[in-house]
Structures are given as structure tokens and as C-alpha cells.
A and B are shown apart, each in its own frame.
Chain A
Amino acid sequence: MSIRGVRIKIEELSHRYTSKSPITFDKVNLEARQGEIIAIIGRSGCGKSTLLHILAGLLKPTDGSVRLDDVLVNAPSPQWVMMFQAPHLFPWMKVSQNVGIGLHFAGWDESKMRDRVNDALDLVDLQDYADNNVQDLSGGQQQRVALARSLVMEPELLLLDEPFSALDAFTRASLQRDVRSIAKRLGFNVVIVTHDIDEAVLMADRALIMAGSPGKIYDELEVNLPDPRERHDTEVQAMRTRLMEAFKTAANEHPSTSSKDASDESSPHNVTQHA
């Protein structure tokens, strides 16, 4: 599969859900290099998911623009695909049908589709599961199918919304490693939204800290560590400490108002650190 990344350019992006609701985030500016993996860290409710939906063209911004190599994002497209916390597979389809569904929508013929689906299943190490019922797979395997379903479209940009937070630590670690290595091998861009500082350190080239309400990006750190990254490497540990510090500073200076944290079911503790 041949994939290449894009330059992402987000300018003065603002959003509110309705004219009555508060501003979700205000004048976000962000650029990413071609093939860069960026992580956006922030507490629940600061607008990370909303930002990602706008990047995917699934929501419209109230103001500002998102451009990928000068193409304006204003509708969903298989060129920029999003993955969620749950895999949301189609349970009436086999693994291979789930993976090939985007190609089917695009009108591919059967034999080309089969080859491409097999390539994608190879990428996520599920080549032996093509004919399985997706409901028989483990949570981690299901998330791998969802990943293959996104990758099969050869996207320029993969958007991940806390995609591994529902998995056990071991499965999460292997997916974090694999997604980074696949992205680096194929060259596409990744934007990953997380409240897990470890995840940012293990996966990203650059970490951005989002805080406050309305949300805004207050700080960023280059995560220039060699691959493969292991949790217990001293460099990884040091980077985690720095990121944690930066996060605390931003969060203290720009506290999110009131009880919004409670509205996010995905994170009992807003920022988690795995020991």
C-alpha cells in the first residue's frame, strides 16, 4: 500500500455546539509536518473530541479552517479517517468484510478488494482471522480490525480519539507500538487525542497540551526519542516527567470551569499515568 502524509494547517479554529452553548474551543492554531504524529493531551471536556471531529469533516467549525495540503476539510472523506474508543465494527459482517467496507463504498471490484484487504490485515497481524465473526475477537483484536478498516483506504491522516483507553495495559502497549511503527513505515499523519501522558510519550513526535474552557492549546513539546520506545527507558521516563510538569502548569493556569469533567464517562481520573 502506498500512503503519504499531508501538511496540516489549522487556522483560527473556533467552535460552539449551538448559539446558546458555551464556546467549545477558541481560535486554535496548529500546523503539522508531513508524516508527523501529534498527540493532543487534555482533561475531559476541553474539546479534544470536538476538534478531532472537525478534522475528520464530521462536524463543521463555527469559525476558522482546516487545510490538508491546501485542501479545505469540510466534509468526511476516506482520506482522513477517524477511530474511536470503541471499534464500532459491523457485527453482521466477517472481519474481511468489515475491513473492505470502505472499498466497497468506493465501488472496487472483488478481486482487487480482496488483495487490498489482505494487505491491510497483514499490517495489523490479523491475516489468520479474515473469515472470523468480529464478535468472536478480543477487544484488542477488534480495535486492530478497526485500524485495518481505516488503513485500507490509504488515508493521509489518521485521527485517533482515545482509541486504546478501553483496553488492558498489555494490549494497549502493543497497539501503541504497532500504530506508531505502521504510521512511520507508510508515512501518513496521525493526530491522537488522549488523556494518557504515557501514550503521548510512546506514540507522538510532538505533544500539545490543551486546557481551559473554552479549550486552547497552551504548550507543546517535541518528543524526539528513538524507536522503539519502551515504557521503562530512562529517556521515556524523563520525557514523561517533563510533559507531566508542562501539563500541570497549563492546567493550573487555565483551569477548566466547574463540573464538566464529570460529563466524560471515559476518564474517571482526568489525566492518568501508568506506572
Chain B
Amino acid sequence: MSDGVASFKVGDSKSYRVLKSSGRGLYNFFGGLAILFVFWWIGGYFISINPSTEHFAAFGPIPTLKAFPELWSAGTIQNAVAASGYRLGMGLLIAVVIGVPIGILMGRSKRFREISNSPFQLLRMISPLSWMPLAVVVFATWNQSIIFLIAIASVWPVAFATAAGLAKIDPAWFKVARNLGATPIHMMTKIILPAISFDVFTGIRLALGVAWIVLVPAEFLGVTSGLGYSIEDARETLSYHHLTAIVLVIGALGYILDSTCVLLIKHFSWHRGDSA
């Protein structure tokens, strides 16, 4: 009897807490953005009253927000996002297709791990953008070069996170699976991949962070599409409110992509405590 009451209360206060915390989350989300906006507005105000910086007044928030409908109806935002998204997606895809098997190999084979450690650590520490001149020579188009840069920036986080995931696998799982008749393909699809998917997505999240940073400067040169190009274009045509609008798009999109990764990580996590 008293048990029932107690558990009812616990359940009740728990759901209340969830409600309250998600309410607080929304409050923080918009409150934080509002503060950023205020700082931006103040900055814009000082730029506009100072005679020497007056003509940069379009950097302020009001002109920027006014630029959005213009950019949208001209299709600039959509085209830039589509072009950049394609490069990012292809680069990440290549990184996953190459990085996950490399990571599995690193996790499964001690020999491979030992021999690959020094070259991989060395390659990993090369700033992705420093491959740019080489990529331009090797690849036929600028588009391909950018995809290559994204891929080479992303492959390391994916590979190393995959290897770390494999290191955490309980070797007895393989023994049990082998005993119950698993083929090597079953071992991969039913044991290894589900066991490490959490780590792979963690790696993809890290990779996305790097790739997103590499993408914009990589688009400053050569290509005539994408977010980086749009920024360059806005600068050259002195449409500063367009420039800040694109910068805002970059921030917002990056935030959305990262949050999507967090959701995927949560979805694929079977570790108790960090899901649900």
C-alpha cells in the first residue's frame, strides 16, 4: 500500500522534472541567443555611429535579417547550402567508407595497429587545408579537390573513434557468437557494427566539426558555388549584410548538423546512462 503511493510519487516527480528541465532548456536556448543578438546589435550600433566604420553598418543584425528574404528569393542560400552540403556529404561518406574499415583493422589486428600508428599520427596532424595545392594539381576539378580535403580531414576522427570502439568490445561476445554458429559476416553485421555504432557516430561528429571548419575556406578559391564562395562574393560586391547573413547560415547549419549527430549518437548508444 505505502509502496504504491511512494512509487506513484516518484514517477510523478520524475515526469514533472523532465517537463521542467525541457522547459528550462528552451528558455536557455532562446535566452542565450537573445544575449548574442544584443551584443551583436550593440557592436553594429558602434560601427554605425563611428564615421570611419560607418559604411560597414550593414554588419549589424537588422540589415542582416533584412538580407535573408532577398537572399532566399534569389535562391542564393538554397544553392549555396546545396553545393556545400553535397561536398560535405560526399567527403564524409568517403571518410566513413575508408575510415571505418581502417578503424576496425586497427582494433582487430595488433600488427596493423602497431605498424600504422606512426604514419597515421603524422598524417593526422597535417592541417587539411595544407593539402589544397596538392589536391588542385591531382584532381581534375575544384569540386573534387574540396571533397578530397573534407574526406582527409574527416577520415582520422572516424578511424580512431572506430578503433577505440573496437577496443571496448568484450572478447567473450565473439566466443559466444562463434559457439552459436555465427559466420564472419554475422560477426560483422550482428556483433561488431552494432557494438561500435555509438563510437562511429561519435567519430563522425568530431569529423563533422573539422570538416565544417575546412569547408568554408576551401570554397574561397576556385569554385563558384557554396557557402564559402557566397561569402567571398558578398565581400567583393560590398554587400556586407549578405555576408553576415551567410555567416549566420553557416553557424545555424553547423549547429543543426552537430545536434543531429548528438541525436544519432544517443539513438545508437546501448550504454546505460547516456541514453533515454
Contact = CB atoms under 8 A, between A and B. Distances in A.
Interface of A: 56, 58, 76-78, 81-82, 84, 86, 88, 90-93, 101-102, 104-106, 135, 149, 153
A88 B173 contact: yes
B190 A81 contact: no
Contacts of A76: 178-179, 181
B222 to A, nearest CB: 44
A81 B175 CA distance: 10
A102 B190 CA distance: 11
Closest 6 CB pairs of A and B: A102-B180, A92-B270, A88-B172, A105-B181, A78-B181, A92-B194
A52 to B, nearest CB: 11
Contacts of A90: 173, 191, 194-195
B180 A58 contact: no
Contact of A86 (B172, B178, B194): B172
A15 to B, nearest CB: 17
A81 B179 contact: yes
A90 B270 CA distance: 9
A149 B186 CA distance: 16
B170 A56 contact: no
B93 interface: no
Given A91-B272, A92-B195, A102-B181, 5 more contacts: A56-B179, A77-B181, A88-B175, A90-B194, A101-B177
* Residue in B172, B175, B179, B191 whose Cβ sees the most chain A Cβ within 10 Å: B179
Q: Give the bracket for the number of chain B residues in contact with chain A.
A: 20 to 34
B118 interface: no
Given A90-B191, A91-B270, A81 B180 contact: yes
B267 to A, nearest CB: 11
Contacts of B178: 58, 76
Contact of B186 (A77, A92, A105): A105
A95 B178 CA distance: 19
Interface string B160-190: 0000000000101101111111110010001
14 contacts: A58-B175, A58-B179, A76-B179, A76-B181, A77-B179, A78-B179, A78-B180, A81-B180, A84-B175, A90-B173, A92-B194, A105-B181, A135-B270, A153-B181
Contacts of B186: 104-105
Nearest to B186: A105
Contacts of A153: 180-181
A86 B176 CA distance: 11
Nearest to B268: A92
Contact of A105 (B173, B182, B195): B182
Nearest to B276: A133
Contacts of B195: 90, 92
Given A86-B172, A90-B191, A101-B190, A135 B272 contact: yes
A84 B174 CA distance: 13
Contacts of B191: 90
B181 A106 contact: yes
Nearest to A105: B181
Contacts of B180: 78, 81, 101-102, 105, 149, 153
A104 B190 CA distance: 10
Contacts of B182: 105
A241 B191 CA distance: 45
